[in-house]
Amino acid sequence: MQYGYGKLILFGEHFVVYGLPGIASSIGLYTRCQLYPNKTGIKVRDRLTNKNIVLGENKQEILDRAMQIILKETGLGGKNFRLEIDGDIPVFGGLGSSAALIVSIIRELNEHYKLKLSNEQVNEIAFKAEHVFHGNPSGIDNTASTYRSLLWFEKNLSGGKNKIELLKCKKPLLVVIGNTKIIHDTVETVAEVKKKKEKEPKKFDKIFEDAKELVFQARNALEKGDLPKTGELINENQELLQEIGVSSPELDLLCKASVENGALGAKLTGAGMGGCMFALCPDKKTQEKVAQAIRKKGFDSYITSVGV
């Protein structure tokens, strides 16, 4: 059985699509994939989305299309097997469930068929398969899932290798993830931003400049272990995301409740317009308090830590 992990974008979602830097980390929520023998053909059962496919029966089905890419890239077309997938990562919530799903499948095939794929190869295949789910993804989700680390990411807009640097924080970041449970569509949200950017280029140029500067400052604060500064920058990043129109009343409500309960900063994570937010907390006690405040508002919360 092999795992694919979810991700938290700490800084830079949406802006990364345009080649600006972003900082993301894998988290403990996961999908896992187990391969069983099968007499003929390939079957996949994904318990997280309740999808069952027999490969090739419905070629429009997203999972079928993703599997076709994975098989082509791994050279495993023609094999017979059954994949069972489950996990604890919320789907369509901004935590990288599709990337985690793909990575768990590639890793399980790698293990079973002894393909000896490096992380770089797993990530490249996952990036290709992510296109089926996300149209034109930056690649930050599959990268965080593959490398299981805090990392710096820059999409190469000319199609070459994306820039990936593994980062370490001085101190682990104690975070609370809040889930609005409002399902969002990443493709639509990314397309909305593009439309707005084309309509108001001057306004967006300024926001993009600020977003770029902010991620460099965030890296510095993280590497120095400056939590108050990191929190401040998380709040600033949320303001930029509000300005480009991807926050929502529920996300804003949870960010506000988190800060009121002692979080150093809070922002949406992923595509926004629903999905998840996270709050950076100074200590475990505050983490509990923030998680409870989110639950009191009627939403799910998860306590976790990232960055080490």
Stretch of 14-22, 85-93, 259-267, 296-304 contacting ligand MEV, by CB under 6 A = 14-22
Rank residues 112 and 155 by Cβ distance to ligand MEV and give the closer one. 155
Nearest approach in angstroms of CB 6 to ligand MEV is 10
Nearest approach in angstroms of CB 37 to ligand MEV is 35
Contact between 192 and ligand MEV per CB under 6 A: no
| Interface mask toward ligand MEV for 19-58; x: CB under 6 A | ----------------------------------------
Rank residues 17 and 105 by Cβ distance to ligand MEV and give the closer one. 17
| Interface mask toward ligand MEV for 136-175; x: CB under 6 A | -xx-xx----------------------------------
Rounded Cα gap, residues 33 and 84, in angstroms: 6
In this chain, which residue has its C-beta nearest to ligand MEV? 138
Rank residues 19 and 282 by Cβ distance to ligand MEV and give the closer one. 19
Q: How many CA atoms lie within 13 A of 7 on its CB side?
A: 33
Rank residues 139 and 231 by Cβ distance to ligand MEV and give the closer one. 139
Residues numbered 241 to 300 that lie near ligand MEV (CB under 6 A) are: 270-271
Stretch of 10-18, 53-61, 69-77, 225-233 contacting ligand MEV, by CB under 6 A = 10-18
Residues numbered 70 to 109 that lie near ligand MEV (CB under 6 A) are: 94
Rank residues 9 and 293 by Cβ distance to ligand MEV and give the closer one. 9
Catalytic residues: 141
Cα of first residue to Cα of last residue in the chain, in angstroms, is: 24
Nearest approach in angstroms of CB 132 to ligand MEV is 13
Stretch of 12-20, 27-35, 36-44, 161-169 contacting ligand MEV, by CB under 6 A = 12-20
Contact between 14 and ligand MEV per CB under 6 A: yes
Contact between 4 and ligand MEV per CB under 6 A: no
For residue 91, give Cα distances in angstroms to 100, 118, 198, 200: 10, 27, 30, 32
If you write DSSP's letter for every residue of the chain in order, what string do you get?
Answer: -EEEEEEEEEE-TTGGGGT--EEEEEEEEEEEEEEEE-SSSEEEEETTTTEEEETTS-TTSHHHHHHHHHHHHHT-TT--EEEEEEESPPTTSSS-HHHHHHHHHHHHHHHHTT----HHHHHHHHHHHHHHHHSS--SHHHHHHHHTSEEEEE--TTSSPPEEEEE--SSPEEEEEEE------HHHHHHHHHHHHHHSHHHHHHHHHHHHHHHHHHHHHHHHT-HHHHHHHHHHHHHHHHHTT---HHHHHHHHHHHHTT-SEEEEESS-SSSEEEEEESSHHHHHHHHHHHHHTT-EEEEEEE--
Q: Which residues bind ligand MEV (CB under 6 A)?
A: 9, 13-14, 16-17, 94, 134, 137-138, 140-141, 186, 190, 270-271
